[in-house]
């Protein structure tokens, strides 16, 4: 009998505490947001500068303070930034307002329990430091939710945390796991090690998955 995905990927670590809105809200309230580099990921900015992706509607789950959401909006994307925490959404909206960005909105919502009106379809989903943040038991649910939210022919751009963590968050993943999870409903169109901030150099894997 074949083992389930979670059994085959022991590197995803153990969940040492419930990952929920209160957990992440406390991180923002306490200023414990070490993952926030104060700017959009270099992998995304390179894609945008090289015109490798065309503007359309895009959802950014786990958007945090919205650095990637703003970068996408500045290049013509119609952006929906989503985060489970009120503090993140409040700060993201303030930063976007300061830049006068109008093709952007922020909503506080649970990605795994979205209100019906938020179910797209979107041309793009961009994610960074989201897949590694939630309970790995939800990864199958994540893939199914992404597939529902993206129109056929649309794409997911993921910059995944390619580490072998013993616990989390952040929870690690391997290329093999990503291929197995996404391949049934997506086709891999781009894969590379992106430019990263110094503390993540060599630890990130960028993949562009097209919805079948």
CA distances from 75 to 7, 78, 82, 174 (A): 42, 9, 19, 31
CA distances from 195 to 159, 167, 171, 205 (A): 11, 25, 21, 10
Whether pTM > 0.75 for this model: the answer is yes
Question: Mean pLDDT for the chain?
Answer: 85
Instruction: Please name each of the domains of the chain with its CATH number.
Output: 20-28+39-211 (3.40.50.150)
Tell me which of 15-19, 33-37, 78-82, 108-112 is least confident.
Answer: 15-19
Burial class (CB within 10 angstroms; exposed 0-12, middle 13-18, buried 19+) of 196:
middle
Tens digit of pLDDT for each residue in 29-72? 776 666 677 789 999 999 999 988 999 999 999 999 899 999 99
Strand partners, 78: 57
What per-residue confidence (pLDDT) applies to 1? 37
Token pair 């085959």: residue: 8
- Asked if pLDDT for residue 74 goes beyond 50, the answer is yes
Tens digit of pLDDT for each residue in 127-144? 998 998 888 889 999 999
């Amino acid at each position: 009998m074949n083992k389930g995905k979670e059994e085959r990927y022991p590197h995803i670590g153990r969940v040492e505490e419930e990952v929920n809105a209160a957990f992440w809200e406390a991180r923002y309230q306490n200023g414990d947001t070490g993952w926030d580099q104060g700017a959009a990921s270099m992998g995304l900015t390179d894609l945008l500068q090289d015109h490798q992706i065309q503007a359309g509607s895009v959802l950014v789950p786990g958007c945090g303070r919205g650095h990637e959401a703003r970068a996408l909006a500045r290049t013509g994307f119609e952006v929906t930034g989503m985060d489970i925490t009120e503090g993140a959404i409040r700060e993201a909206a303030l930063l976007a307002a300061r830049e006068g960005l109008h093709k952007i909105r922020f909503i506080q919502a649970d990605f795994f329990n979205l209100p019906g009106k938020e179910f797209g379809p979107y041309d793009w989903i961009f994610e960074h430091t989201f897949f590694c943040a939630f309970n790995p038991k939800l990864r199958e649910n994540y893939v199914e939710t992404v597939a529902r939210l993206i129109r056929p022919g649309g794409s997911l751009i993921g910059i995944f945390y390619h580490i072998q963590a013993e616990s989390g968050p952040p929870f690690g993943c391997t290329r093999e796991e990503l291929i197995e999870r996404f391949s049934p409903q997506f086709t891999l169109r781009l894969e590379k090690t992106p430019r990263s901030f110094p503390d993540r150099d060599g630890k990130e894997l960028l993949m562009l998955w097209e919805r079948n």
